[in-house]
């Protein structure tokens, strides 16, 4: 260890860090033993590059472990170095070792990378290795957001004795199938591809050739190499607002001269393909063995399956202690933006007020309880669910999700047959529709899709800015059906899962139906809350495809949305129905073919029916206070 420290400081003096990283490093080195480029062995001989920061003490300490596909080379990029050292300093100053590791096949780690397709045993083996170190007290907690969270659920199914607690944040891409959600790691929503992975994999997936180091490279050589070689590829900047339009979809990355990799395999998988069940995704037929503190956000990609997974674990974990120790925070922010909430938090264009929360205090209170055994009363003093209600702009608590007392209220679609656009006659009300069916017709042309405007999204480059935006620009289109309530005489809090039943017909073999939930302000501003889509061919389940017959009316149950929003007096509740939300979701080319390998589409002429026979409706979880 003495030689490792000497090497560390010799390298530091030979090549100075950017000032941003050097300042925090000076604080860190005063309290921490720093051991970088430890090549941790896995059971198959592959070694994973690991940096370890631990307190200067002879007493064993618990570990906070973060595993990631992203670059954490602390010697090259100023922001990266500061972020890594800041996280390490926070943990070490609180009496924890902080261990950060690259997934296999990423940067200095050996092996081949596959998004959530590497062995789940890598996590298990890492827990075993850390628990056996003399500086570890035998307890490991996992922490991270997005890709540093998504691997945690599947490894929790293995129930390693050292894996004492976890804090997954923005974790949806690790959820495969849970209940009726077949998103398969956010790849799908309602059977339609979520295009965020096209742009994300362009920047992350490895090509066939990448720099590697000899198996006999020493730790000293790897540390030196990390000062000289960042290993982060410099890929061309892509205008994703244009790149997403390329057809066929399977060639989008190739068309922007990106690396050939797992995208080309994944794009061919159907929603229930066996390959989804062979990797690192967590599915609802798997056990779960770890107390968890979940962090979700209203404008994340996968808020609904995230909440469904929380409920699933609480209801199905076999160990009562595990089932009873699941806690949840839902913030009004974008993907992994928890700490960016301010006194006036703006999400897109909408102010949602003071959404700050002491995240570090909550997280370390959780870890202190489970990893240090501190009697801090965390389970008794922490609400089961801590959620933020937009509109009323306040944090609230509940003992379950949805909150106790939430009552599903049906709002029915109606019109005189002309709900097209904001200027049509579409209505939304609790009054059941009459006997006469006056369907609303719209044309969906995949060459002219409805553009995504804000929404629950991440990772799409310049193509979409996530969050709440005034939807009136889209609502002026004739291919968007708009249904709106009268101004509310009393405020309505909607908190929970939003369910939708549509009765539809089309002249196409297959097409999509999209839906958005909107809060309409008295001045006309129309802010989106959540959105979903359903590919008609999967209306009877994701294990089969059933195509449409021209003119025949079909019942669609859309994937539930989620929100907590207070519609104040004078506001109106609105939904939009259309055939596309692009590039949030891929375009359905309406042919009934594979879609991913097609370059030409056909126009679909679609109808939404609403009558006593066809009661199209949205069911809102109304909380009365």
- Tokens at 447, concatenated: 């060459």
| Of the candidates 177, 133, 126, the residue with the CA atom closest to the CA atom of residue 152 | 126
pLDDT of residue 456: 95
Average pLDDT over every residue of 105-129: 93
User: In 3-state terms, what secondary structure has residue 556?
Assistant: strand
For the cut 90, the answer to whether the pLDDT of residue 80 exceeds it is no
Residue 516, CA distances (Å) to 49, 116, 500, 562 in order: 44, 30, 10, 11
Cα 27 to Cα 359: distance, rounded to the nearest angstrom:
22
pLDDT of residue 207: 80
Mean pLDDT of the chain: 94
pLDDT of residue 503: 98
- CATH class in words for 2-341+353-389: alpha beta
User: In 3-state terms, what secondary structure has residue 509?
Assistant: coil
Q: Where are the domains of the chain?
A: 2-341+353-389, 407-623
Secondary structure of 133-183 in the HEC alphabet? CCCEEEEEEEEEEHHHCCCHHHHHCCCCCCEEEEEEECCHHHECEECCEEC
pLDDT of residue 76: 63
pLDDT of residue 227: 84
Cα 39 to Cα 25: distance, rounded to the nearest angstrom:
22
pTM over 0.75: yes
Q: Dump pLDDT digits (tens) for 253-267.
A: 999 999 989 999 999
pLDDT of residue 13: 40
Cα 507 to Cα 505: distance, rounded to the nearest angstrom:
7
* End-to-end CA, the chain: 61
pLDDT of residue 232: 85
Residue 234, CA distances (Å) to 237, 424, 462, 620 in order: 9, 49, 18, 47
Q: What is the dihedral of CA 349, 354, 358, 363, to 10 degrees?
A: -40
Q: Which stretch of 76-90, 203-217, 326-340 has the lowest confidence by average pLDDT?
A: 76-90
- Positive or negative: CA dihedral 338, 339, 344, 349: negative
Q: Which stretch of 107-116, 160-169, 550-559 has the lowest confidence by average pLDDT?
A: 107-116
Cα 375 to Cα 362: distance, rounded to the nearest angstrom:
15
Q: Dump pLDDT digits (tens) for 529-579.
A: 999 999 999 999 999 999 999 989 999 999 999 999 999 999 999 999 999
Q: Dump pLDDT digits (tens) for 355-398.
A: 999 999 999 999 999 999 999 999 999 999 999 999 999 999 99
Portion of the chain with pLDDT greater than 70, in percent: 96
Q: Dump pLDDT digits (tens) for 10-61.
A: 444 444 455 667 888 999 999 999 999 999 999 999 999 999 999 999 999 9
Cα 25 to Cα 83: distance, rounded to the nearest angstrom:
10
- Tokens at 526, concatenated: 């129309």
Residues whose CB is less than 8 angstroms from the CB of residue 108 and which lie 6 or more positions away in sequence, other chains included? 37, 49, 102, 213, 222, 225, 226, 231
pLDDT of residue 88: 96
Cα 133 to Cα 392: distance, rounded to the nearest angstrom:
50
How many other C-beta atoms can be found within 10 angstroms of the C-beta atom of residue 447? 12
Secondary structure of 202-268 in the HEC alphabet? HHHCCCCCCCCCCCCCCHHHHHHHHHHCCCCCCCCCCCHHHHCCCCCHHHHHHHCCCCCCCHHHHCC
Average pLDDT over every residue of 454-467: 96
| Of the candidates 109, 150, 134, 74, the residue with the CA atom closest to the CA atom of residue 459 | 150
| Of the candidates 40, 187, 206, 184, the residue with the CA atom closest to the CA atom of residue 112 | 206
pLDDT of residue 545: 98
Portion of the chain with pLDDT greater than 90, in percent: 88
Cα 283 to Cα 157: distance, rounded to the nearest angstrom:
10
Q: Dump pLDDT digits (tens) for 129-150.
A: 999 999 999 999 999 999 999 9
Average pLDDT over every residue of 105-116: 92
Beta-bridge partners for 41? 47
Cα 301 to Cα 457: distance, rounded to the nearest angstrom:
5
pLDDT-derived band at 439, boundaries 50, 70, 90: very high
Cα 69 to Cα 106: distance, rounded to the nearest angstrom:
6
- Tokens at 452, concatenated: 């995504």
Range 107-143 burial, b when 16+ CB lie within 10 A, else e: bbbbbebbbbbbbbebbbbbbebbbeeebbbbbbbbb
407-623 placed in CATH 2.60.120.260: yes
For the cut 60, the answer to whether the pLDDT of residue 4 exceeds it is no
Cβ atoms of 30 and 36 closer than 8 Å: no
Beta-bridge partners for 483? 575
2-341+353-389 against 407-623: fold identical: no
Specify the length of the chain in residues.
625
How many other C-beta atoms can be found within 10 angstroms of the C-beta atom of residue 70? 18
């Amino acid at each position: 260890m003495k030689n490792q420290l000497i090497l560390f400081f010799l390298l530091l003096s030979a090549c100075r860090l950017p000032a941003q990283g050097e300042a925090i490093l000076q604080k860190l080195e005063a309290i921490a033993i720093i051991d970088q480029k430890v090549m941790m062995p896995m059971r198959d001989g592959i070694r994973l590059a690991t940096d370890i920061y631990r307190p200067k003490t002879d007493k064993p300490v618990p570990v906070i472990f973060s595993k990631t596909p992203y670059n954490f080379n602390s010697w090259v990029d100023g922001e990266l170095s500061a972020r890594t050292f800041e996280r390490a300093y926070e943990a070490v100053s609180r009496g924890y070792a902080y261990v950060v590791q690259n997934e296999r096949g990423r940067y200095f780690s050996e092996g081949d990378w596959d998004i959530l397709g590497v062995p789940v045993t890598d996590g298990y083996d890492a827990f075993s290795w850390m628990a056996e170190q003399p500086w570890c007290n035998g307890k490991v907690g996992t922490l991270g957001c997005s890709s540093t969270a998504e691997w945690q659920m599947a490894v929790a199914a293995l129930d390693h004795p050292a894996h004492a607690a976890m804090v997954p944040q923005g974790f949806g891409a690790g959820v495969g199938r849970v209940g009726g959600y077949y998103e398969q790691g956010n790849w799908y929503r309602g059977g339609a591809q979520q295009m965020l992975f096209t742009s994300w994999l362009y920047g992350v997936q490895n090509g066939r050739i990448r720099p590697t180091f000899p198996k006999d490279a020493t730790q000293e050589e790897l540390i030196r190499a990390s000062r000289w070689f960042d290993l982060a590829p410099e890929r061309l900047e892509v205008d994703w607002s244009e790149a997403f339009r390329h057809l066929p979809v399977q060639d989008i990355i190739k068309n922007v001269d990106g690396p050939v990799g797992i995208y080309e395999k994944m794009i061919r998988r159907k929603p229930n393909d066996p390959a989804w069940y062979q990797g690192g995704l967590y599915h609802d037929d798997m056990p779960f063995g770890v107390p968890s503190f979940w962090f979700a956000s209203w404008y994340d990609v996968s808020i609904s399956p995230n909440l469904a997974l929380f409920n699933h674990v609480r209801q199905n974990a076999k160990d009562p202690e595990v089932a009873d120790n699941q806690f949840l925070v839902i913030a009004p922010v974008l993907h992994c933006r928890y700490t960016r909430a301010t006194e006036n938090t703006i999400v897109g264009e909408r102010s949602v007020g003071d959404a700050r929360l002491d995240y570090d205090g909550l997280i370390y209170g959780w870890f202190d309880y489970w990893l240090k055994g501190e009697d801090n009363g965390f389970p008794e003093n922490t609400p089961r669910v801590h959620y933020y209600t937009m509109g009323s702009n306040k944090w609230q608590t509940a003992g379950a999700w949805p909150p106790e007392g939430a009552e599903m209220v049906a709002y029915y679609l109606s019109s005189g047959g002309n709900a097209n656009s904001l200027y049509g006659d579409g209505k939304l009300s609790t009054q059941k529709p009459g006997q006469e069916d006056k369907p609303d017709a719209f044309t969906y042309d995949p060459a002219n899709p409805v553009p995504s405007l804000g929404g629950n999204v991440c990772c799409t480059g310049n193509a979409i800015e996530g969050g709440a935006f005034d939807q009136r620009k889209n609502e002026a289109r004739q291919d968007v059906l708009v249904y709106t309530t009268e101004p509310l005489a009393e405020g309505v809090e909607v908190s929970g899962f939003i369910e939708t039943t549509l009765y539809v017909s089309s002249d196409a073999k297959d097409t999509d139906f999209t839906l958005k939930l909107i809060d309409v302000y008295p001045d006309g501003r129309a802010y989106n809350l959540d959105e979903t889509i359903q590919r008609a061919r999967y209306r009877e389940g994701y294990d089969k495809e059933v195509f449409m017959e021209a003119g025949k009316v079909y019942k669609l149950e859309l994937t539930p949305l989620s929100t907590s929003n207070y519609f104040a007096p004078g506001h109106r509740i609105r939904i939009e129905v259309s055939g596309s939300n692009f590039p949030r979701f891929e375009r359905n080319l309406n042919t009934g073919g594979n879609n991913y390998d097609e370059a030409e589409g056909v126009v679909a002429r679609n109808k939404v029916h609403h009558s006593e026979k066809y009661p199209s409706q949205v069911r809102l979880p109304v909380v009365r206070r």
